[in-house]
Chains A and B, each alone.
Chain A
């Protein structure tokens, strides 16, 4: 059982370049999330998708776009990378709902992105 898989694990971009971070989960979760982690700031939500076909902005969406391709896959795109987007990016999935069947957020191993 792979859980949440992110690719790539490491990436270096030049300012202005674009790239897409890929995420896939095999737990049949409805909700998926993209976070960025910066020193001293914990995890901040960039975008989330409560279910297939829906996406919403989180706390820090500027400079990013997302696509919920299907129930398994949720990608994050940087259209024009900036040094401020240097960070560690985590994808997560969950099935958070009331009553029985709640699950925590399951995380991928992260993508370490440097923009120079």
Chain B
């Protein structure tokens, strides 16, 4: 069965520091991979996505992620965090089957210290 693991429940970083959020997935083939961000009381907004091609993908708000097939990982990075990046981050896998389903990790909550 497909699964998505985000091992870090909560991360705290200082403003201006670099950030890496981890995501591992379990899926037999190359999946479709996504990172979403959710601000308090809001819906989910797409940060970036990977379908194929270059394994380093750029997203909005200065985020990037790297697909590593050998590690079944799709980690999210940002060189310099801003206070407005404080939010919940979700990694997701899209699976092409009869239902075309999306599987989500449990999320990582990011706190940014001034």
B19 to chain A, nearest CB (A): 20
Q: Does A113 contact B (CB under 8 A)?
A: no
Give Cα A33–Cα B103 distance, bound, in whole angstroms: 11
Contact A107 to B44, CB < 8 A, known contacts A40-B106, A98-B96: yes
Count of chain B residues with Cβ under 8 Å from any Cβ of A? 26
- Interface contact B102-A33, CB-CB below 8 Å: yes
CB-CB contacts of B92-109 with A at 8 A, as 1s and 0s? 101010111111111100
CB-CB contacts of B11-52 with A at 8 A, as 1s and 0s? 000000000000000000000101010000011111001010
Interface of A with B (CB < 8 Å)? 31, 33, 35, 40-45, 48, 50, 56, 58, 90, 92, 94, 96-98, 102, 104-110
Given contacts A40-B106, A96-B32, A106-B46, 4 further A-B contacts (CB under 8 A): A43-B104, A104-B46, A105-B92, A110-B43
